[in-house]
Structure 1
């Protein structure tokens, strides 16, 4: 049986407990043995090197250097990592090691909760197969991103809330290699209920399964 670990905590506005419960249900339905932790010290556990998948849900949390290095080492040796929105993309702001692993870092969501479009750019990829481009109402993440990411979906900023980014095309969903490990990320899912949006649920579940070894 494949083993996964979810670590949740940080800013409560992203419903980390509810998101962890939802993701745990998805993974259990796929046959995973799921360990759930609420402290970043779990990342320092040598046992994580034996996992198939790690899911951080830790918006604005802090991580100790040793914890980040052990997490990075585990993924580099083959453990998968996947996650969504701020739980993965706005976690551990002061850890450049983690940001290199993740492939991006949140820096803004101009306008807050707005209507925007998610454009599927890689319909040929198994994660996105059959998922159409779709309209969504939530935070439109502006991120600093790794150019080595394999981008699967994007969004285009209108400039209404920040005129200097008018027309900027920003990655929304990506996957990447980190050593022998696979990393998946989706910036969608500001609140837990968004994980039930069919397109988001499909992308997330497929992405996590792709990342897991």
Structure 2
């Protein structure tokens, strides 16, 4: 039986408990023994990490200690898969450039609505946008058979490097109330090989409702199976 470690916490706005609970039945149905931790301290436990085949992380912001960081990095390098969505993986541990290097991309912002339409809550950053499957994505096991799809949620603008394999993108348009001068295409779903391990990041997933969109859920679930140590 393979072992999955679910690590959740950080900023409550991304509902890390409710979000991760969506996927626990799937993992168990796929034959994983699942352990859930509410802090990242488990990453420093070498015995646990060496026996873990998949880490599912939902920890927005927060911080990570030296031993925890290098425990996670070492496990992935040795073959443990790492999967997450939205801020739970792409906006984790802002204090650590070494974590950023591991995942390959970092949330920068989510552009908001036209100022006169903002009401002062999280919906100010909800925009209709398209997730477009790339040519690579149309052939990859995580996204093969999926069509481009529409969401109305936070549209992540991500800073990334060239070692990510981009399976889907989203394009931020120019608007008169934003300071950039041409559209910017940002990765929305990517994979990364790190040592013997595999990393999967999906930027949609601001709420459990977004995670239940059929295409988003398929990407996360397929990503777990693809990333997990065989």
Give the TM-score category using the shorter length. Answer: over 0.9
* Residue equivalent to 1:150: 165
Cα distance in 2 for residues equivalent to 1:30 and 1:159 = 43
Q: For each residue in 1:87-124, what CA deviation from the matched residue of structure 2 results, as whole angstroms up to 9, or x when unmatched?
A: 01101011111111111111100111110110000211
Task: Specify the SS of the correspondent of 1:91.
Answer: coil
> Number of residues paired by the alignment?
213
* Residue equivalent to 2:13: 13
* Residue equivalent to 2:54: 53
Gaps of 5+ in 2: 113-124
2:214 to 186, 198, 205: 198
8 A Cα contact 1:127 1:206, kept in partner: yes
Task: Specify the SS of the correspondent of 2:73.
Answer: helix
Gaps of 5+ in 1: none
What is the CA distance between 1:147 and its match in structure 2?
A: 1.2
Matches for 1:98-113 after TM superposition, within 5 Å: 98-111=99-112, 112-113=125-126
Cα distance in 2 for residues equivalent to 1:39 and 1:203 = 25
Task: Specify the SS of the correspondent of 2:27.
Answer: helix
Alignment TM-score, normalising by the size of structure 2: 0.90
Q: Which has the larger radius of gyration?
A: 2
What is the CA distance between 1:165 and its match in structure 2?
A: 5.5
* Residue equivalent to 1:116: 129
1:135 to 130, 142, 150: 150
* Residue equivalent to 1:22: 22
Task: Specify the SS of the correspondent of 1:147.
Answer: coil
Matches for 1:61-100 after TM superposition, within 5 Å: 61-100=62-101
Cα distance in 1 for residues equivalent to 2:54 and 2:16 = 18
8 A Cα contact 1:157 1:165, kept in partner: no
Alignment TM-score, normalising by the size of structure 1: 0.97
What is the CA distance between 1:40 and its match in structure 2?
A: 1.4
> RMSD of the TM alignment (CA)?
1.0
Deviates more, 1:69-78 or 1:19-28: 19-28
Deviates more, 1:159-168 or 1:147-156: 159-168
